[in-house]
Amino acid sequence: MNVKGTLSLLILQVLASGPNHGYRIAQDIKARSEGELDFAEGTLYPALHAHENHGLIESYQRTENGRLRRYYRLTEDGQRALSRERAEWRRLVTAVDVILGEVS
């Protein structure tokens, strides 16, 4: 499942736990969602680059197990964006729950 509009929020949420590289970000999202959310590289990396271009995250390179990896971390703007996106998501979920509750 790949719910449109959720990837931005999920990336920021995962990075709130600390810096990580793209593959691990994708795996973390998949694991936390118990396999329900699985974003392909072709979706994840453009989103990471867009976040970086907007100043929500920053990247740096680090060697891990002999491989050079690009790590991403939240910026202060990214932390503020995460708070806003979480609030928006909660409003959306509440609104949808209200509508679904009416259809009994």
pLDDT above 90 covers a percentage of the chain that reads 81
Q: What pLDDT is attached to residue 41?
A: 81
Q: What is the mean pLDDT of the chain?
A: 92
Question: Where does the chain show beta strands of DSSP type E?
Answer: 20-21, 57-64, 67-74
CATH architecture of 7-102: Orthogonal Bundle (1.10)
pLDDT in tens, 23-59: 999 999 999 999 999 988 889 999 999 999 999 999 9
Q: What pLDDT is attached to residue 103?
A: 57
